[in-house]
Amino acid sequence: MRYFYILVIVLFCKELYPDSTKTSIIDFGGHQIDHLAIGVPDTKKGLEWLKQLTGAKAYLVEPEPGQWYQSGGLVIGEGVLLEIIGPNPQHSGFHPIKQILKNYNKPNLMFYYIAVEDFNTFKKFSKDNNIPLERVEKMEYLRNGKQISYIRSTIGPGFLSERPNIIQWISREERSNEDRSCSFKKFWIQTSEFEDIKELFSTLNLSIDVSKQKKGGTLNLQLRCLNGEIHFEGNSEDFRGVGSFFKFLKIYWNYLWNG
């Protein structure tokens, strides 16, 4: 009989406090980061810069078919990558982000992705919590004879902001043989939209530190490397609303003038 009462108490508490053991649907690698990207005007030169800075040998990836960018980087944790992204030399024509990369005068930590196990579950979660998902796309291609497949999206409004991008890997390339001498220490954000970003991270149950600054947003990353602790930072962009039209117009004019 005593055990019956214990069982009743346990079930009662479970109903009374249903969220007492709340876990996030976003839970990846401890710090919930899948990859971060540093934008550069030239990928190969960017990888050489990264090697000299950290002491670690970065890998280079063949461009995805038809893509405007080429990337490489470092493994900085279990399934966590620091990506160097620059224009694909083989890509012709205009792409706004490619042009932004070409205009950088120094490496810029420009965006980050968090991983979800099931994108459709996250999509419903976002809708229920009034979190706008923008630019949803599914990518599939072959690299070195292996299928790469994922679904990705941006949390709006806008893009290249302090808000995270979302990715679900369906099949990904393993990097078990890459240099792992650098390890993730900390990622944090400074933003003029402190209350909005803080509320978003709380809703997503993301353990990313946020602090307030007067204007714009800054992404920060700290790594432990052979050459010591290395700090990377970058200013976020603000592509949303009417102002984004004029920004794109300026970018396109720069493309027409300089190529």
Task: Render pLDDT for 106-141 as a digit per residue (tens, 0 to 9).
Answer: 999 999 999 998 999 999 999 999 999 999 999 998
User: Does 227 reside within a domain?
Assistant: yes
User: Does 192 reside within a domain?
Assistant: yes
Residue holding tokens 């979190």? 131
* 133-150 pLDDT tens trace: 999 999 998 887 889 999
* 19-55 pLDDT tens trace: 333 334 444 333 478 999 999 999 999 999 999 999 9
Contact criterion met (CB below 8 Å) for 237 and 110: yes
% of the chain surpassing 90 pLDDT:
60
Which comes out higher in pLDDT, residue 239 or 180? 180
User: Does 9 reside within a domain?
Assistant: no
209: β partners: 188
User: Does 15 reside within a domain?
Assistant: no
* 64-98 pLDDT tens trace: 768 899 999 999 988 899 999 999 998 988 888 99
Residue holding tokens 């470092």? 74
User: Does 210 reside within a domain?
Assistant: yes
Q: Is the model's pLDDT at 237 over the cut of 80?
A: no
- Rounded Cα gap, residues 111 and 204, in angstroms: 17
CB within 8 Å of 2: residues ≥ 6 apart? none
User: Of 106, 103, 111, which Cα lies nearest the Cα of 82?
Assistant: 111
pLDDT at res. 136: 95
CB within 8 Å of 244: residues ≥ 6 apart? 158, 238
Contact criterion met (CB below 8 Å) for 74 and 182: yes
pLDDT at res. 144: 78
Q: What is the CATH number of the domain that holds 82?
A: 3.10.180.10
Q: Is the model's pLDDT at 255 over the cut of 80?
A: no
Contact criterion met (CB below 8 Å) for 153 and 137: yes
Q: How many domains does the chain have?
A: 1
pTM metric for this prediction: 0.85
Contact criterion met (CB below 8 Å) for 187 and 33: yes
Residue span of the structural domain in which 200 resides: 22-258
User: Does 217 reside within a domain?
Assistant: yes
pLDDT at res. 259: 66
User: Does 191 reside within a domain?
Assistant: yes
Confidence of residue 17 (pLDDT cuts 50, 70, 90): very low
User: Does 130 reside within a domain?
Assistant: yes
